[in-house]
A and B are shown apart, each in its own frame.
Chain A
């Protein structure tokens, strides 16, 4: 099956620093990747949609200058949380759609837990 990895799995940083999270599709090419955020005991909320080689599309209320997304290749997307603050502490999950199955299936990464002190 299609595998999506995320790195790191857990990160603790000081307020004001930037954190980069990587999302990789390991055995397929991902035309589209999605970034979600999940607060404790809540559902996943879509932050942005990322297509390879183009600018990400952000959901309403998500600051594009704070959450920088780069989708440089068909197997890698990165989310950078710039000048992180404690309220950015959350579980960040990426997903990827393959060229083959398209919109029928999203494959999810294991998530990255961010704690900002």
Chain B
């Protein structure tokens, strides 16, 4: 069984400040991990993914995330927030290599607000 926990349903940062969105996962098999962003009334856009290659993953829009197996974490960071980063962010897990289930299990989401 798999699950995802996103700590903090709402994170607020100032423009130019560090963005840190936390995600912890639970998986009985090696996982694939994903971060998606959702703007209001839109679908999901993939920011980045971990699929058992490099543990530090770089994504679009300056975001990156580090897979830490010992901490079962996959936190999302961005050095300097931009106003356009304000959105809802979802962490998700699926079964990785050798697994059979391709469906994603999503966290509850973290709404990021960016103050001018």
| A residues with CB within 8 A of B | 4, 6, 32, 34, 42-46, 49, 93, 95, 97, 102-111, 113
Mostly helix, strand, loop or mixed at chain A's interface? strand
The CA of A111 and the CA of B88, in the complex, are separated in Å by 15
Given contacts A103-B95, A104-B32, A43 and B90 within 8 Å (CB-CB): yes
How many whole Å from B109's CB to the nearest CB in chain A? 5
Contact (Cβ within 8 A) A103 B102:
yes
Q: Is B43 part of the contact surface with A, judged by Cβ < 8 Å?
A: yes
A43 with B104, Cβ < 8 A, contacts A110-B43, A113-B41 known: no
Chain B interface size band reads 20 to 34
- Determine which of B43, B107, B108 lies in contact with A108 in the assembled complex, contact meaning CB atoms within 8 Å: B43
Q: Which of B46, B95, B103 has the most CB of A within 10 A?
A: B103
B44 at the interface (CB under 8 A from A): yes
Q: Is the CB of B90 within 8 A of A44?
A: yes
Q: How far is the CA of A34 from the CA of B104 in the complex (A)?
A: 9
Q: Which of B30-60 contact A (CB under 8 A)?
A: 32, 36, 41-46, 49, 51
Query: Which B residues are CB-close (under 8 A) to A102?
Result: 102
In the complex, which residues of chain B have a beta carbon less than 8 angstroms from the beta carbon of A43? 90, 106-109
Contact between chains at A108 and B109 (CB < 8 Å):
no
* A103 cross-chain contacts in B, Cβ below 8 A: 32, 94-96, 99, 102
Segment 58-116 of B: residues with Cβ below 8 Å from A: 90, 94-96, 99, 102-109
CB-CB < 8 A to B90: which residues of A?
43-44
Extra 5 A-B pairs, beta carbons < 8 Å, given A95-B104, A108-B43: A34-B104, A43-B109, A44-B106, A105-B46, A110-B42
CB pair B41–A93 under 8 Å, yes or no, is no
A70 CA / B8 CA spacing, docked (Å) = 37
Q: Which residues of A contact B45 (CB under 8 A)?
A: 108
Contact A104 B109 (CB under 8 A): no
**Closest chain A residue, CB of each to CB of B102:** A103
